[in-house]
Amino acid sequence: MLIDYINTAMCCAKYEILSDDGSYYGEIPECNGVYANSDNLEDCRNELQKVLEDWILFRIHKNLFLPCISGLENTLISKRIALLS
């Protein structure tokens, strides 16, 4: 279920090429604070996924809400994580 959440969030990622240095910037708007910047798109995407994973783990650790992304209901994720705690 967590993999589904990560994959869905990554599908919602927005990327742009920054005009000042030509680097790639990526973010997941639904996940406040999840963004990355790198020299190429592949590295930006990989870094963005690492940031997302850390963001999710932090929110789980602090018992914070995970936002619903593209209709993916996170109550099952929350319930399964609660069982692990």
Supply the pTM of this predicted model.
0.84
Q: Look up the CATH number of the domain holding residue 16.
A: 3.30.160.250
Q: What is the pLDDT of residue 73?
A: 60
Model pLDDT for residues 47-70, shown as the tens digit of each residue? 999 999 999 999 999 988 888 887
Q: How far apart are CA 68 and CA 82, in angstroms?
A: 17
Comparing 22 with 69, the larger pLDDT belongs to 22
Q: What is the mean pLDDT of residues 10-27?
A: 98
Q: What is the pLDDT of residue 72?
A: 64
Q: What is the pLDDT of residue 80?
A: 55
Model pLDDT for residues 34-43, shown as the tens digit of each residue? 999 999 999 9
Number of domains in the chain: 1
Q: Which residues pair with 38 in a beta bridge?
A: 24
Range of the domain at 30: 2-84
Q: What is the DSSP letter of 38?
A: E
